[in-house]
Amino acid sequence: MNHEDIKNGVIDILVDLTGSDDVRDNLDINLFDTGLLDSMGTVQLLLELQSQFGIDVPVSEFERDEWATPNKIIAKVESM
């Protein structure tokens, strides 16, 4: 899977979860500080990443700061 596919896939998930196009518009937006993602939203994000990319993020390893923006999430998915 190339960078563009991963990027678009992650953004589509985020748009659906947050119900906001802001995440497409600004890839450095802080999802938690802006209230776009809460705890339950985060859970749904991890489940979606698992089902769409087959990557398994143990919830106990989830460090909020490392997943705070669309760009950070894209980088995480690429690294896994």
Partner 1 sequence: MVENIIHAIDTVATQSPDKIAYVYEGQAYTYAQLKQGSDRLANFFSQVLPAKAPIVVYGGQTFEMVQVFLGLSKSGHAYIPIDTHSPNERITQVQEVAQSPAVIAVEPLPIEVPDVQVVDQSLLTEAINGGNDNYDPALQVSGDDNYYIIFTSGTTGKPKGVQISHRNLLSYVNWNVDDFGLEEGVVAMSQPPYSFDLSVMDLYPTLVLGGTLMAIPKQITDNFKLLFETLPELGLNEWVSTPSFAEIALLDPNFDQEHYPKLTHFLFCGEELTNKTATALIDRFPNAAVYNTYGPTEATVAVTGMQITADVVAQYPRLPIGYAKPDTEVYVVNEENQRVAPDTEGELMIVGPSVSKGYLNNPDKTASAFFDADGKAGYRTGDLVTMAADGLVFYRGRTDFQVKLHGYRIELEDIDHNLASVSHVKQATTVPRYDKDHKVTQLIAYVVPAGGDFASDMDRTKAIKAELGQMIMEYMVPQRIVYRDALPLTANGKVDRKALIAEVNPNA
For residue 58, the one-letter residue type is: P
Report if residue 80 touches partner 1, rule: CB under 8 A.
no
Report if residue 5 touches partner 1, rule: CB under 8 A.
no
Report if residue 25 touches partner 1, rule: CB under 8 A.
yes
Residues, the chain, total?
80
Report if residue 38 touches partner 1, rule: CB under 8 A.
yes
Nearer to partner 1, 5 or 38 (CB): 38
Angle between helices 3-18 and 70-79 (to 10 degrees): 130
Per CB under 8 A, the list member of 22, 27, 30, 52 interacting with partner 1 is 22
Backbone angles phi, psi at 30, to 5 degrees: -85, 110
